């Protein structure tokens, strides 16, 4: 049955093909077909179990490195090292598990427990059934408010209209008929078909089921989602690269120290009788020290904090890594309906005429300037209207309007102008009605008591055909050719700009019924409706442009409608900037990739087109965010680097998303982008802070071994600095509020990795210079130890204190990379200040507490703090010099460095 083009067959042919009649299937036929086709259900993704969420915390490359270090420490019976590394892993696991489990529970709560039913004709009797029981050949009755349970061919239509935006992207209702249509017509224009998940907005009808379950249009999209591979996030790729680099560096460091130590005559393992440290244990300790154990916890904490910050902005992050990824977004592919727009029709403006030359345009806010014709338009739109208003007389409740979207918009406009339907109908009760039909394209009512008036609204060309006069200004005048021409030009121009036009007319003091009074009407004007932009969208798009982020509009709407919205956003659009889905099908991947940067609008798109658009941008190295609300957006949402769905979106779309906008506010996307950029900058600062210290320790020990000096620090001293003294300031960098200018910077290129040239200069060059000074100090102290009355433990205590204290100072230099530390507010990260104070006192404990002195082989210091503080000042000065060079573009030396 997949080959049958149902919309290209007559109703008689459809029923014959499906071996059914308009009286429905028999119970026996249903049982046979259920065995053949199965239940009318879509496969749904099960929520992640708590165990799977827990296991997922161990999939980071950094976790693998730390697990290896923990196992080696345990094998060597270095229980202190093992305990500290294990603690870092436990904290990381708990924070990640708690945040992702919380998001998972929130998603479960967001899912609506819907058990849709359908009115089905079985054995010539209408029965209500769960839609899961539907089979091909079933005849269903469709009424306003019903959600269609499966794909079906319309066999009877009485003004039947459906809202299909969740599938096609079009916000306006689609008229449905029984007529056979051409085979090649696109899905959005198949007016004799209805699809699973769409909603009947008006009228009634019958349809025969053609496809169920995974064979429906939604089912095909669900399969497409299932086979869509998710891309790794930029942070995942960077951390993977970083972990490989760290692992290789650790291996080289360990082997280098081991070889040098053995060459110099060190024993492999510790000699407890002599108290000599084994070179193998030292090599492992230095290697473990080179691993920034605090990084994993810091990254997890900064992502968790970002998640909470974004949640405060009304966005739910389902996957923690998406918090950082969105900061790298360089292209936003956004659906139009429900994302950029409100997803519902609103009255945009009224057109009235004072003469035959030009129209007057009124916004609803221009009420005080309305002429008589404008008031008539509103009155006609409210009276000639079948929408139902509830709570209109209750001042404690907001009115609820139910009906066709265009009629709801007219009632809403009336309420904004204090024109209430209930009050008007009391004054002008309805006597008769000609209902709207898709064939006739107009609606008429007869209202009044002793004197009665005909009110008509509908398609402009239809209403004009009923009119002989027009209300120009406040006078009724005869309609001449010039006037008709002006009116036609007005509505044709407005329609071309993406507006939906209705015309209004009236006839006063009529005698008889409606049918004999649909001529000689007075034309009052036009009402333009549209699905308007969300209020915040225009400014948000400007912000993204300023930040170097390209926005692309993808919609199922007509190109003219999409162009009107994009023009309203301030873009200049030519025909070269618009591509229709059918034209995209004709392009090869190579041709499309060459053209993709020029396209601003994609119209008449289907799910497969959206995936191609996302993939094309990704192939150019861009980080893509895809926003949407409908099932038709879901495959592309999943394929994108960051999938974003508005809170009012479908459940299938939400399951594909990384981030859900709880308030449907497009501005929340940019808030999340700025938060993501801040997070990445903070991760860089944490890595820079921890690696600068780790690398300095490695160079110091390796240099001492190369020059035949004793070990300047012990393994336990190194671990204390890395995990205790530096640990708190490192984690506190996660609370940095972000630097100025983050919103104006162009998106970073994820392929460049975490380390930029500035970081490399600080980590390697600064560390080497400081370590040369420190090694020189160590050599001089060893040389003059007898004269100074210093033991090796005393000298090592000075080095130990230097390594610990300098990091507590230069953290203030690293926290602000774009300006000198003294120009940055000191108290905008109080947690950092408290951490530095705590780190300082923790560094003093092994030096001055007697029982810790034995563990760490330290002695109390006095005047020795002067060279220690001087060294810290030198390190800060060097870091500030590097920052100055890299952030002063006019310096020739800086240009050479950046180009290197």
* Strands 659-661 and 642-646, sheet pairing: parallel
pLDDT tens digits, residue range 188-241?
Answer: 889 999 999 888 888 889 999 999 988 998 888 777 666 656 556 666 677 667
Spell 629-650 as b/e; 16+ CB within 10 A means b. bbbbbbbbbbbbbbbbbbbebb
CA pair distance 374, 367, nearest whole angstrom: 9
Residues 6 or more apart from 79 whose CB is under 8 A from it? 73
Q: Which two tokens stand for residue 55?
A: 């296991």
Q: What CATH number should be reported for the domain whose range is 317-342+534-671?
A: 3.40.50.1000
Give the residue, 646 or 841, on which the prediction is more confident: 841
What average pLDDT does this structure show over 108-136? 79
Contact 816, 879 (CB under 8 A): no
Higher pLDDT, 478 or 167: 478
**CA pair distance 574, 600, nearest whole angstrom:** 9
CB 716 within 8 A of CB 856: yes
Sequence-distant (≥ 6) Cβ neighbours of residue 588 within 8 angstroms: none
Residues 6+ apart with CB under 8 A from 51: none
Predicted local distance difference test score (pLDDT) of residue 652: 66
Residue 512's CB: how many other CB atoms inside 10 A? 10
- Evaluate whether 155 touches 11 at the Cβ level (below 8 Å): yes
pLDDT at res. 34: 92
Instruction: Locate 95 and state its tokens.
Output: 């924070």
* CATH class, range 6-38+135-211: mainly beta
| This prediction's pTM | 0.71
Q: CB–CB of 344/404 below 8 Å?
A: no
Residues 83-94: pLDDT tens digits?
A: 766 776 786 677
What residue spans in the chain does CATH classification 2.70.150.10 cover? 6-38+135-211
Specify the residue for token string 């205590």.
Answer: 797
The set of residues, in sequence order, having a beta carbon less than 8 Å from that of 33 and lying 6+ positions away, is 25, 135, 136, 137
Cα 280 to Cα 252, 259, 285, 286: the distances in Å are 14, 10, 9, 10
Q: What are phi and psi of 736, to 5 degrees?
A: -60, 135
Residue 347 is predicted with a pLDDT of 94
* Pairwise pLDDT comparison (731 vs 169), residue with the higher score: 731
Q: pLDDT tens, 112-121? A: 434 578 999 9
Residues 347 and 410: beta-carbon distance below 8 Å = yes
Across 256-260, 394-398, 583-587, 763-767, the highest mean pLDDT is recorded for 583-587
Q: Which H helix or E strand runs over 71?
A: helix 61-75
* Beta-carbon contacts of residue 847 (< 8 Å; ≥ 6 apart): 797, 800, 801, 853, 856, 858, 859, 860, 861
Where do the CATH 3.40.1110.10 domains begin and end in the chain?
A: 346-530
Task: Determine the pLDDT at residue 425.
Answer: 92
Tens digit of pLDDT for each residue in 805-861? Answer: 998 999 999 988 888 888 888 888 999 999 999 999 999 999 999 989 988 899 999
Question: pLDDT tens for residues 16-62?
Answer: 999 999 899 999 999 999 999 999 987 765 666 777 777 776 766 66
Q: In CATH, which of 3.50.50.60, 3.40.50.10190, 3.30.460.20, 1.20.1110.10 is domain 61-92+232-314+674-899?
A: 1.20.1110.10
Element (H, E) at 610: helix 607-619
Q: Which two tokens stand for residue 351?
A: 């057109």
What are the strands, taking DSSP E only, across 170-275?
174-175, 193-194, 199-211
Rounded to 10 degrees, what is the CA torsion of 228, 233, 236, 241? 100
Question: What is the average pLDDT across 302-312?
Answer: 81
Which tens digit of pLDDT belongs to each residue from 540-557? Answer: 888 888 889 999 998 877
Residue ranges of the chain that CATH labels 3.40.50.1000: 317-342+534-671
Q: Which residues are catalytic?
A: 335
Hey, what are 849's tokens? 């507490």
- CA separation for the pair 471, 743 (Å, rounded): 53
According to the model, what pLDDT value does residue 227 have? 61
- pLDDT, residue 384, reads 96
Predicted local confidence at residue 891, as pLDDT: 54
Vertex 109: Cα angle to 108 and 114 (nearest 5): 85
Q: List phi, psi (to 5°) of 42.
A: -100, 140
Round to whole Å and give the CA distance between 216 and 142.
18
The CATH superfamily of 346-530 is Calcium-transporting ATPase, cytoplasmic domain N (3.40.1110.10)
Beta bridge partners of 402: 388
Please give the pLDDT value at position 226: 64
Total number of residues shown for the chain: 900
Mean pLDDT, residues 762-773 = 86
């Amino acid at each position: 049955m997949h080959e049958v083009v149902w919309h290209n067959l007559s109703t008689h042919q459809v029923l014959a093909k499906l071996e059914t009649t308009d009286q429905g299937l028999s119970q026996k036929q249903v049982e046979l077909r259920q065995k053949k086709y199965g239940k009318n259900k879509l496969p749904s993704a099960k929520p992640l179990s708590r165990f799977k969420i827990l296991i997922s915390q161990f999939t980071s490359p950094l976790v693998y490195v730390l697990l290896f270090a923990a196992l080696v420490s345990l094998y060597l019976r270095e229980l202190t090292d093992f305990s500290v590394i294990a603690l870092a892993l436990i904290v990381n696991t708990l924070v990640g598990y708690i945040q992702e489990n919380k998001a998972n529970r929130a998603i479960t709560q967001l899912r609506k427990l819907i058990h849709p039913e359908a009115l089905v004709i079985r054995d010539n009797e209408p029965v209500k059934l769960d839609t899961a029981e539907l089979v091909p050949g079933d005849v269903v009755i469709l009424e306003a408010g019903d959600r269609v349970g499966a794909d079906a061919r319309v066999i009877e239509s009485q003004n039947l209209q459906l809202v299909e935006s969740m599938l096609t992207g079009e916000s306006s209702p689609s008229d449905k008929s029984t007529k056979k249509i051409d085979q090649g017509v696109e899905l959005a224009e198949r007016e004799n078909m209805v699809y699973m998940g769409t909603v009947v907005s008006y009228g009634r009808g019958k349809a025969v089921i053609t496809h169920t379950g995974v064979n429906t249009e939604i089912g095909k999209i669900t399969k497409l989602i299932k086979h869509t591979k998710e891309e790794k996030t930029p942070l995942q790729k960077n951390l993977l690269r970083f972990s490989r680099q760290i692992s290789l560096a650790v291996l080289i460091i360990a082997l280098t120290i081991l070889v040098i130590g053995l060459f110099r005559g060190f024993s492999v393992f510790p000699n407890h009788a002599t108290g000599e440290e084994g070179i193998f244990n030292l090599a492992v300790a230095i290697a473990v020290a080179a691993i920034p154990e605090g990084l994993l916890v810091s990254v997890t904490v900064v992502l968790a904090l970002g998640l909470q910050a974004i949640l405060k902005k009304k966005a739910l992050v389902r996957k923690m890594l998406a918090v950082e990824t969105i900061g790298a977004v360089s292209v936003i592919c956004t659906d139009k309906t429900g994302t950029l727009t409100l997803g519902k029709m609103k009255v945009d403006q009224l057109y009235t005429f004072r003469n035959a030359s030009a129209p007057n345009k009124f916004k609803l806010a221009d009420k005080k300037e309305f002429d008589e014709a404008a008031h008539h338009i509103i009155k006609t739109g409210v009276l000639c209207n079948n929408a139902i208003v509830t709570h209109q007389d209750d001042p404690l409740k907001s009115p609820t309007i139910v009906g066709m979207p265009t009629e709801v918009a007219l009632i809403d406009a009336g309420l904004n102008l204090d024109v209430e339907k209930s009050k008007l109908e009391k004054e002008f009760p309805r006597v008769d009605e000609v209902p709207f039909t898709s064939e006739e394209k107009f609606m008429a009512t007869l209202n009044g008591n002793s004197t009665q008036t005909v009110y008509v609204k509908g398609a402009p060309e239809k209403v004009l055909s009923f009119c002989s006069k027009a209300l120009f200004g406040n006078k009724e005048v005869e309609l001449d050719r010039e006037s008709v021409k002006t009116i036609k030009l007005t509505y044709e121009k407005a329609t071309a700009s993406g507006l939906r036009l209705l015309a209004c007319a009236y006839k006063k003091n009529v005698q008889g019924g409606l049918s004999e009074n649909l001529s000689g009407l007075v034309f009052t004007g036009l009402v333009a409706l549209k699905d308007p932009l969300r209020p915040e969208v225009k400014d948000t798009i400007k912000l993204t442009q300023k930040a170097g982020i390209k926005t692309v509009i993808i919609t199922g709407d007509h190109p003219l409608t999409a162009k009107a919205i994009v023009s309203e956003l301030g873009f200049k659009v030519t025909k070269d900037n618009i591509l229709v889905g059918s034209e995209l099908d004709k392009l090869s991947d190579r041709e499309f990739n060459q053209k993709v940067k020029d396209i601003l609008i994609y119209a008449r798109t289907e799910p497969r087109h959206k995936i191609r658009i996302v993939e094309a941008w990704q192939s150019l190295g861009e980080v893509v965010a895809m926003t949407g609300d409908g099932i038709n957006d879901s495959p592309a949402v999943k394929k994108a680097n960051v999938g974003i769905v508005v809170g009012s979106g479908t459940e299938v779309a939400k399951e594909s998303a990384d981030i859900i906008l709880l308030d449907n506010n497009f501005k929340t996307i940019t808030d999340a982008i700025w938060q993501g950029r801040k997070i990445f900058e903070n991760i860089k600062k944490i890595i820079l802070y921890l690696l600068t210290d780790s690398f300095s320790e490695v160079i110091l020990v390796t240099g001492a071994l190369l020059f035949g000096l004793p070990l300047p620090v012990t393994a336990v001293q190194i671990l204390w600095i890395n995990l205790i003294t530096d640990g708190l300031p490192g984690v506190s960098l996660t609370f940095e509020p972000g630097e100025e200018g983050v919103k104006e910077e162009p998106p970073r290129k994820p392929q460049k990795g975490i380390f930029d040239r500035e970081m490399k200069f600080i980590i390697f060059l600064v560390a080497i210079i400081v370590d040369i000074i420190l090694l020189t100090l160590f050599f001089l102290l060893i040389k003059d130890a007898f004269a100074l009355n210093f033991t090796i433990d005393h000298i090592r205590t000075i080095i130990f204190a230097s390594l610990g204290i300098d990091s507590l100072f230069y953290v203030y230099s690293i926290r602000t990379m774009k300006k000198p530390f003294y120009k940055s507010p000191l108290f905008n990260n109080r947690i950092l200040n408290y951490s530095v104070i705590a780190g300082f006192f923790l560094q003093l404990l092994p030096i001055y507490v007697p029982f810790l002195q034995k563990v760490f082989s330290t002695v109390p210091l006095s005047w020795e703090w002067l060279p220690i503080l001087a060294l810290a000042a030198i390190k800060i000065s060097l870091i500030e010099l590097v920052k100055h060079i890299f952030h002063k573009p006019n310096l020739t030396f800086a240009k050479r460095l950046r180009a290197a």
